[in-house]
Copies of this chain bind each other. A is one copy, B any other.
Amino acid sequence: MNVPTPGSHLTASAGSRNEQTRRHNLSTLLTLVHHHGALSRAELTKLTGLNRSTIGALNTELASAGLVFESAAQESGTVGRPSPMVNPSADIVALAINPDIDAIEVGAVGLGGEVLSRARRATASVPTPSEALEIALELIEDVRSQLASGTTIVGVGVAVPGLVEADSGTVTRAPHLGWEDVAWGEQLSDALGLPVQVGNDAAVAVVAVAVFGAGQGAANLMYLNGSASGIGGGVIAGGTRLVGANGFAGELGHTLVNSEGDACYCGRKGCLETEVNLNRLHAAAEASGIAAADAVAQLAATSSGPFAAEVDREADVLAHGIANLISVFNPEAVVLGGFLGDLYGARQERIRTGVLADAFAPLGDNVRIERAQLGDELLLVGAAELAFGPLLHDPSGWKAKS
C-alpha cells in the first residue's frame, strides 16, 4: 500500500525510541518463523528488507535466547552459497486451555504452532469455575509430563465461550457455562505461577484460522463457527483482529437475517443464530428418522423430506447472512467452522451461489469461502497464540529458563 488510504494513520501513536527498533525487528523475525515455519536467513533478509548484517545479529540474539535454532540449509539446487534455516524452537511451549460445557481440554503447543501433547476430560455436567479449575490443573500435569525435558513454558492461554475482559482475565459472562464475573485467569495464574491470558473462544479461533488455518495470508477475513451454544465469530480486518471498544466486536451470530424469525435470547428476533441452529437440525433429523446425534454426519444423506428441507433452508439463510456481512466487511475469505463447516460441506454449491447472488455487486465476486482446517486443534492453537503474544511482541531480554 504505497498510497495511504484515507484513515490509515488516524491515531498519533507514541514516539519511537531507538531501542524499540531492535524490539520491533526481533519481534518481526520471531513472528515470521513462528507463523510461517522455518525460513532461511536469505529469505528473512528479503522479507524484512533488513541488511544481512542485521539479520545475522538479530538471529544470533534470538538463538542465544533459545527461541530459534539454526539448521543446515535445504537442498535448493540453485547456485550460490546455501543459506542456513532459522527454525522456531519447539522447546518453547505455551499451554492452551479450553473449558467447555461438556469437557475441559488442555494442550501444549510449541513455537511454530505444533500441538505437542494434549489431554481432555469429559464432565458429566456443565463444570463450575472451581471444578473446571481443578480439572484443568490435573490435565496440565498430564500434558506437562508428556513434554520432552528441556522445554520452557512461556505462559497459558485460555479460550472461553463467553465475554471476557482481556486485561484482567475475567470471564464477564459465559451464558452456556453459567459463569459470571469469574476471575478465572487470576486463579489459574496464582495456582501455576505462570502468566495467563484469557480470550473469547471465537476471537481465539479466528486468530488460529488467520495464522495457521484456512485463512492464512488473508488480511481481511471472516470466521463463523457453529456449535451447540450458537454461532460465534471473529473478524480480521487490515491484518488485525476486530476488537471493538470493549473487546466485544464480532458478535456475528446476532446479525439480523429474518425480521419475522424466532425470538433470540439476545432480545431481538431473527438473528443468524436463531435461524441457523443445531437444535433445528436435530429436530428435523428426527422427523426424518435420523437420530439427532447423527444429524451433522448425515447432512448430505437425504435429498428430500423434512431434514433435507431444513438443511436447504439453513444453507440459504446462512448464505444470506454471509452476503450481508460481506457488504459490511469486504473480506477476501470467509471461513466456516463447527457445524457451519459441515453445512457448507453438504451444500457447498447452494451456499456459494446464494452468497454470489446476494452480495453487493463487486464484493462477493472475489470472496473465498472455505471450511476451517485444524479441526479440534483450532482452539488449542489459538489459545496458545494468546500465550505466545507477549513473547512475540518483545523477545528481547527473554531467556529460556530450561
Binding site for B on A (CB under 8 A): 1-18, 20-21, 24-25, 27-28, 31-32, 35-36, 47-50, 54, 163, 166-167, 172-173, 197, 199, 203-204, 206-207, 210-211, 218-220, 234, 236-252, 254-260, 266-268, 270, 320, 323-325, 327-332, 357-358, 360-363, 366, 382, 385-386, 389-390, 392-393
A20 — which chain B residues lie within 8 A by C-beta? 21
Q: How far is the CB of A280 from chain B (nearest CB, A)?
A: 17
A357 — which chain B residues lie within 8 A by C-beta? 267
A206 — which chain B residues lie within 8 A by C-beta? 7
Q: How far is the CB of A357 from chain B (nearest CB, A)?
A: 7
A27 — which chain B residues lie within 8 A by C-beta? 9
**Contacts A49-B15, A251-B363, A327-B251; is A7 near B245 (CB within 8 Å)?**
no
Task: List 4 other contacts, CB 8 Å, given A5-B241, A325-B328.
Answer: A4-B393, A6-B389, A238-B243, A254-B360
Q: How far is the CB of A267 from chain B (nearest CB, A)?
A: 7
- Contact A50 B17, beta carbon cutoff 8 Å: yes
- Contact A252 B389, beta carbon cutoff 8 Å: no
A6 — which chain B residues lie within 8 A by C-beta? 166, 197, 199, 203-204, 207, 241, 382, 385-386, 389
How far apart sit A5 and B8, CA to CA, in the bound complex (Å)? 20
From A2, A28, A234, name the one whose CB has the most chain B CB atoms within 10 angstroms: A28
How far apart sit A206 and B13, CA to CA, in the bound complex (Å)? 19
- Contact A248 B362, beta carbon cutoff 8 Å: yes
Q: How far is the CB of A332 from chain B (nearest CB, A)?
A: 4
Of B10, B218, B234, B393, the contact of A236 (CB 8 Å cutoff): B10
Q: How far is the CB of A48 from chain B (nearest CB, A)?
A: 3
Write 21 A-B pairs (CB below 8 A) sorted by A numbering: A4-B389, A5-B241, A6-B241, A6-B386, A7-B206, A7-B207, A7-B241, A8-B243, A11-B239, A13-B28, A14-B47, A16-B24, A246-B363, A249-B329, A250-B330, A255-B327, A256-B320, A258-B259, A259-B270, A266-B360, A267-B357
A21 — which chain B residues lie within 8 A by C-beta? 16-18, 20-21
- Contact B327 A210, beta carbon cutoff 8 Å: no
How far apart sit A377 and B177, CA to CA, in the bound complex (Å)? 51
- Contact B12 A324, beta carbon cutoff 8 Å: no
- Contact B199 A5, beta carbon cutoff 8 Å: yes
- Shortest Cβ distance from A215 into B: residue: B10
A25 — which chain B residues lie within 8 A by C-beta? 15-16
Of B9, B12, B324, B362, the contact of A163 (CB 8 Å cutoff): B362
A50 — which chain B residues lie within 8 A by C-beta? 15, 17
